[in-house]
Amino acid sequence: MPTALLAIDTAAPRLQLALLLGDTADTLVEDMAQGQAERIFPAIDELLARTRIAYADLTRIAVTTGPGSFTGLRIGLSAARGLGLALDIPVVGIPTLLALSLGCGCDTAAVLLDARRDEAYFQLFSGPAIPVGGPVLLPMEEARRRIPPGVATLTSPFVDISALARFAATVDPSHYPPEAAYIRDADAKPQEKFRVARVSP
């Protein structure tokens, strides 16, 4: 049987799935800012059913690792890791900025994603999936100044899920671990007023 790869992207406010069978990719894409946790497995079931593929037929899982929504990343990564463990198949983690470069179709590109607070996630690529340096979090104006003249700038947070699936089918999973790449620390803070006081022995 040819490669059967399931790709998952929940880093942006959209649920994106792709099932790659050999050279053919079937996709399921739904815009949603919330509810990905409840929707992801029913959506996977629908995608597998319409392509007549069982979970046991999957040979590899791919998932975006961020930066992106903290909650969305946890949902996608948890689903991918859980499936990989249950099926005993490799799970490939693809950084979101690298995944975005796959859909450019240009020789050089700058990925610039709005990170809020007047900041941007930024990374240069000399070709699809060929990074020039690592991803960084910069003030928005500084990120814009780093874009070389004439270079295509990618600002959409939505990856080409089919391109991601095809790329993930070709890479060594050991080079792309399914680990979150937040770049920025989590905004969530411990809720001090609900913390239980420790009692000294």
The full set of domain ranges for the chain reads: 4-184
| Banded model confidence at residue 3, pLDDT cuts 50, 70, 90 | confident
Cβ–Cβ under 8 Å, residues 104 and 127: no
pTM of the entire predicted model:
0.89
The pLDDT of 22-27, averaged and rounded, is 94
Cβ–Cβ under 8 Å, residues 170 and 5: no
The pLDDT of 1-7, averaged and rounded, is 86
- Give the model's pLDDT for residue 133: 92
- Give the model's pLDDT for residue 196: 42
Say whether pLDDT at 188 is over 60. Answer: no
- Helix, strand, or coil (residue 147): coil
Q: Is 4-184 a domain of CATH 3.40.720.10? A: no
pLDDT tens-digit map of 103-124 = 888 889 999 999 999 999 999 9
- Give the model's pLDDT for residue 129: 95
Side-chain half-sphere exposure of 132, counting CA atoms within 13 A: 13
Greatest CA separation found in the chain? 67
Per-residue CA distances from 189 to 11, 71, 183, 185, 186 (Å): 21, 15, 17, 10, 8
| Strands of 130-139's sheet in order across | 130-139, 119-127, 109-116, 152-154
Element (H, E) at 18: strand 14-21
